[in-house]
Amino acid sequence: GDSVIQMQGQVTLSENDFLFINCTYSTTGYPTLFWYVQYSGEGPQLLLQVTTANNKGSSRGFEATYDKGTTSFHLQKTSVQEIDSAVYYCAMNGSSGNKLIFGIGTLLSVKP
């Protein structure tokens, strides 16, 4: 079945550090890949959608790339800020259509 594996469970950085989060996926379909961010007390909200292999999406200083050859997708930001502290989820809608399948989430803590 469809699955998404998110490697980093928790990441602690200092302001202006580089952020990189990696996910891999497995599906028999043609996936659309997403990054969601969840701030404390809120529901997840869409950060980026990546639909074309080897293309980048970008939003709020974050960039997402997708490598179809390695079935992986990445989220990165050159210089994180304290306000970026949140949980970041990779997600996919694969062969099963509209429902999203999420990775386990990465808790990002950015220290001032």
Partner 1 sequence: NAGVIQTPRHKVTGKGQEATLWCEPISGHSAVFWYRQTIVQGLEFLTYFRNQAPIDDSGMPKERFSAQMPNQSHSTLKIQSTQPQDSAVYLCASSFGQNTEVFFGKGTRLTVV
Residue ranges binding partner 1 (CB under 8 A): 32, 41-46, 49, 89, 93, 96-105
In whole angstroms, the minimum distance from the beta carbon of 67 to partner 1 comes to 21
CB of 16 to partner 1, least distance (A): 29
Contact indicator for 50, 58 with CB cutoff of 8 Å: no
Q: Which is nearer to partner 1, 56 or 99 (CB)?
A: 99
Q: Which is nearer to partner 1, 8 or 81 (CB)?
A: 8
Phi, psi angle pair for 34, to nearest 5°: -140, 155
Minimum distance from residue 104 beta carbon to partner 1 (Å): 4
Helix (H, G, I), strand (E, B) or coil at 24: strand
What's the alpha-carbon Rg for the chain, to the nearest Å? 13
Strand locations in the chain (E)? 3-6, 10-14, 19-26, 32-38, 45-50, 56-59, 62-67, 72-77, 86-93, 101-102, 106-111
Considering beta carbons, is residue 55 or 79 the nearer one to partner 1? 55
Question: Based on CB atoms, which residue is closest to partner 1, 84 or 105?
Answer: 105
Minimum Å distance from CB 50 to partner 1? Answer: 13
